[in-house]
Structure 1
Amino acid sequence: MGIPEEDFDKPKIAIVNSSSKLSVCYAHLDDVARQVEKAIRAAGGVPFEIRTVAPSDFVTSAGKQGRYLMPTRDLLVNDVEVQVEGAELDGMILLASCDKTTPGQLMACARLNIPALILPCGYQLGGECGGRHVDIEEVYKAVGTVKAGRMTLIELEDMTRHAIKGPGVCAGLATANTMQCMAEALGMALPHSAPIRAGGPRLAEQADKAGAKIVELVNKNLRPRDILTPAAFRNAVTVAVAMGGSVNCVRHLIATSIEAECAVDVLAEFERAADVDQLTLVRPNGPHRIEDLDAGGGCAGVMRQLRARLDLSVLTVTGATLEANLAEVPQPDEAFIRPASNPFRREPGLIVIRGNLAPEGAVVKLSAVPEAVRRFAGVARVFEDENEAIAGLQDGTVRAGDVIVLRMMGARGGPGTVFAASFMAALVGAGLGDTVAVVTDGELSGLNSGITIGQVMPEAAEGGPLAVVRNGDMVEIDLTRRVLAFDVTDDELAARLAAFVPPVLDLKPGWLSMYRQLVQPMSQGAVLGERRRPGVHK
């Protein structure tokens, strides 16, 4: 292998690279890996690049209606474990990109508990089409606009030719950028890591710093579980709520806490953060672009504005406390990152709601719900397939005032969370985003906007109340009171649940079949295999 004998006693560092030619999300990672490799060598370490599964929410979702997406997160965790722990490497630096890689990498850090850090690898740029800015979010919504007859297919195709102008993850505060920010908020990424432009000069600088820092972490024996404390998770939750991050960050933070065996109830922390106001308005939450958040100070700037709400004593991968890190962060641009005393909106960006339809909770990206809609009541219209719901949108079955229930699409029901995000995007594109509500246990995108209630727990396939909603039931959504309920008596609900028989899935042998046997409830982060955490038992 060409390794000189004098290197044998140096720290052996894994560069965890999810490079793939299937998706633009990963197109630049090989170049980043080369730069990190040089930095590790210069710092006195020996780098070993390893490859993992590379799930892309826009590419991997093409098959099986997106069922492979969530399972690939946990496939990645195990992939890293096998290669890094099996080879007894001393530390690892993980190149973060699309939606499932960052949470999977955080989970791997927490599980292996060897010195590690996350290197966020950045967002893509959009372009111009028809005299206006377009990016992947606009393309996403335009599918519904075409279905509604308000745009031609030719116009949509023209948008696709201009919407992506470089490598990296989706523009906007979707799951990928949210989770890269969460890595920094948890203290597992260097300050000023996220958001960051893929292929830009600042990413190159961060790669050099990260390569040197991982060798230092190994020499100091600073490990992820020294950083991933209950206080660190509380900090991350506060940042997620203030930014209006993706609904999916809730499940991923829960999963990371479980892998860290950390005594923190992440769902309860989101409920406690209900008094945190929105300090940013990045799309789909408002008019600002991810480049604006980046230029305005990024996650570090948000944390600086939240200093009074954060536990500043926590350790980070810098080797210093958050307080020391924030002392070096300049004042952010208040055009894009407001102070806590003068927020953009005096309400949280993410909330957990409960009721007889979601006794274990459901997640709402309040920042992406039309401000005029904080209470919604409508008749349930039930679908168990996203394509059928989209067809209902086309033929007029889906009407203003409806509450669309998309179910049997959760981690176990899919198996693997089935895509519900395309229907929500189509709904917004058709102009019904503020007159039709969606309640689902399926896979949503951080780009989704509208009256969307996601991650309903327990999911339908587990016998949750969502399984027994019937067409015509009245459903109430009250985002101010944090209520999701349907109009049935306790006795009627109990009778329906007693009569419920889970559907029998005819699964061929393979990864999805194995996943269904192992996956835990979404309230436990949909991790694989039953776990116990100190002090967080239900």
Structure 2
Amino acid sequence: MKKRINHFSKKITEEQNLPAAHAMLYATGMKESDFLKAQIGIISNWYEGNPCNIHLDQLAKKIKSSIKKRYLIGFQITTIGVSDGITMGTSGMRYSLPSRELIADSIETVIDSHYYDGVISIPGCDKNIPGSIIGLLRLNRPSIIVYGGSISSGYYNGNKLDIVSSFEALGKKKSCKITEIEYKNIVKNSCPGPGACGGMYTANTMASALECMGMMLPYSSSSPSTSKNKIVECEEVSKYILNLLEKNIKPKDIVTKDSIENGIKLAICLGGSTNLVLHFLAISKSANINFSLKDFQRISDQIPLIGNLKPSGNFLMEDIHMYIGGIPVIIKYLLNEGILSGNCLTVTGKTLSENMENVPNINFSHKIIYPLDNPIKKNGHIRILYGNLSPEGSVAKITGKEGTFFRGKANVFNSEEEANIAILNNQIYSESVIVIRYVGPKGGPGMPEMLKPTSYIMGSGLGKKVALITDGRFSGGSHGFVVGHITPEALSGGLIAFVKNGDFIKIDAEKNTITLEVDEEEIQKRKKSWTPPSLKIKKGYLYKYAKIVSPASQGCVTDEF
């Protein structure tokens, strides 16, 4: 007799005292013979207003068709998404990080309430991916993540473009480095179609890490959004979800401390987004795994930077696909060199090492990935800084191109908008430390990303001349001498609230320190005259978020009280 795999859905379909539930399932098109089949929730972050997500419904339809061939029942479900690129630099960006919690909550809600036996999640944009895995870990039933894939590069005037090209173009136009016509053509050609932003920004960082963790099929993170590989993946994923159901392999069997470290190690090797820190703190909590900021620093100290990838490098995810052969080639290299643990279980039902057996060896000829014995930087670019400005920790992204030490006079702004105006009006001078505060998890609220100011800085030619620190966070597309996630944040009375224009700030990415060079007596005097500002939002989701969100040093989660 064939093994039963409808462990959850049978509580609805085989319960004789639920006639209304059965009537509604018949209304969906189910037949009586279908009531014994396992049910799969096919969750996509589909919506039409964002290139990262616009194609996910089509991928979900292909997966549903594949599911049906395996004698499983598939139900398509959509959850929300927020476009970081569209909301960047606006008040809408405050919803970006909080959307991660809404995504996780909605996945948990619909799957648990409807008793689906397994889940295939199809994320596209940045917060979709951690939101999905957090939700799947809470549910802990057989699940696979299928990444929507990366966008193709744009072209203009012989140059490859991506989303960051459009942000930096404004800085170049304002500093008279390009004309209005050139500026418009860059903007029009930066994003040629569907898919997540092309560099090693947050979406591709998290996708690569989750593939290495074992929650995606091999090649999922590097197969482009419009490639034949992505279509094949959608057709084959049903085979693997069936296997997980039959073997009862669940996310918490796959997401362990070792597999989390694998994901972070790969992301650091590739020069990934600082957002991985926030997201992996949250993922670890959902998996009931003890993981802290100090673990990130420990890993970063051990792992060299070998990925010549945007924003600080030259290449995109599509180049990894075309010239390297995909993320598995890099994973195999790191396994062979003893960087990664190969014994971790994956959604194929095999270990990470077993998945890599037929993967070709790496080729360094295109200088997209550097060998470990000749890295771009001998240790990782993620630096966890402590000091009087961030006694609970802060996160820097130092690739080496910016240097590792900066000391300068503070130029203080109480909002991103004020800082952006000053940068675009050429009011920022060399050797300044730009301070953007009251933009943390509570102060933002929502801890908005700072891609606009960092892009304007780079576009204006100030990339090596100024530093930027904030209690907000940075986009995966940000680069330059930047420090974010300063904790405690300004709204909570962190020292960043008491910085004044002209104060000297010292950032040392070798000693991992960040210091406000003001004596303690003066600091105490400033604290006494400070009145905490009220929350910027008085109602709605952001108000609820600001009231319950944990600090950045704890992952900005909302399900712990």
- Which of 425, 428, 446 is 2:455 aligned to? 425
Matches within 5 A, 1:121-270: 121-265=148-292, 267-270=294-297
- Which of 130, 141, 149 is 1:114 aligned to? 141
State how far apart, in whole Å, the 2-side matches of 1:32 and 1:395 are. Answer: 44
C-alpha contact 1:61 1:69 (8 A) present in aligned 2: no
CA apart distance, 1:98 = 0.4
Partner amino acid for 2:414?
E
Distance 1:497 1:327, change over 3 A: farther
**Deviations for 1:448-500, whole angstroms, at most 9, x for unmatched residues?**
11111122222222222212111111011111221211102344445544554
Distance 1:338 1:13, change over 3 A: same
CA apart distance, 1:199 = 1.3
Paired position in structure 2 for 1:299? 327
Structure with higher Rg: it is 2
CA apart distance, 1:181 = 0.7
- Give me the TM-score of the superposition, normalised by structure 2: 0.91
Paired position in structure 2 for 1:455? 485
State how far apart, in whole Å, the 2-side matches of 1:467 and 1:203 are. Answer: 47
Partner amino acid for 2:353?
E
C-alpha contact 2:43 2:79 (8 A) present in aligned 1: yes
Q: Which runs of 4+ in 1 moved over 6 A?
A: none
**2:333 paired with 1:333:** no
State how far apart, in whole Å, the 2-side matches of 1:416 and 1:454 are. Answer: 14
SS in structure 1 at match of 2:146: strand
Matches within 5 A, 1:11-30: 11-30=38-57
Partner amino acid for 2:376?
F
SS in structure 1 at match of 2:206: helix
Distance 1:10 1:136, change over 3 A: same
State how far apart, in whole Å, the 2-side matches of 1:15 and 1:415 are. Answer: 31
Distance 1:375 1:266, change over 3 A: closer
SS in structure 2 at match of 1:93: strand
Distance 1:268 1:5, change over 3 A: same
C-alpha contact 1:169 1:177 (8 A) present in aligned 2: yes
Paired position in structure 1 for 2:21? none
SS in structure 1 at match of 2:122: strand
C-alpha contact 2:292 2:554 (8 A) present in aligned 1: no
**Deviations for 1:217-275, whole angstroms, at most 9, x for unmatched residues?**
12211111111111111111211211110011110011111111112335423334312
State how far apart, in whole Å, the 1-side matches of 2:528 and 2:214 are. Answer: 46
**Deviations for 1:313-365, whole angstroms, at most 9, x for unmatched residues?**
21111111122122232212223233323323323132222221112222122
Distance 1:450 1:96, change over 3 A: same
Partner amino acid for 2:412?
V
Distance 1:86 1:524, change over 3 A: same
Partner amino acid for 1:311?
S
Identity of aligned residues (%): 33
Paired position in structure 2 for 1:383? 413
Paired position in structure 1 for 2:25? none
Distance 1:245 1:452, change over 3 A: same
Partner amino acid for 2:385?
I
Paired position in structure 1 for 2:9? none
CA apart distance, 1:289 = 2.3
Paired position in structure 2 for 1:354? 386
Unaligned runs of 5+ in 1: 532-538
How many residue pairs match? The answer is 529
- Give me the TM-score of the superposition, normalised by structure 1: 0.94
State how far apart, in whole Å, the 1-side matches of 2:425 and 2:102 are. Answer: 39
C-alpha contact 2:149 2:195 (8 A) present in aligned 1: yes
Distance 1:500 1:218, change over 3 A: farther
C-alpha contact 2:100 2:130 (8 A) present in aligned 1: yes
CA apart distance, 1:19 = 0.8
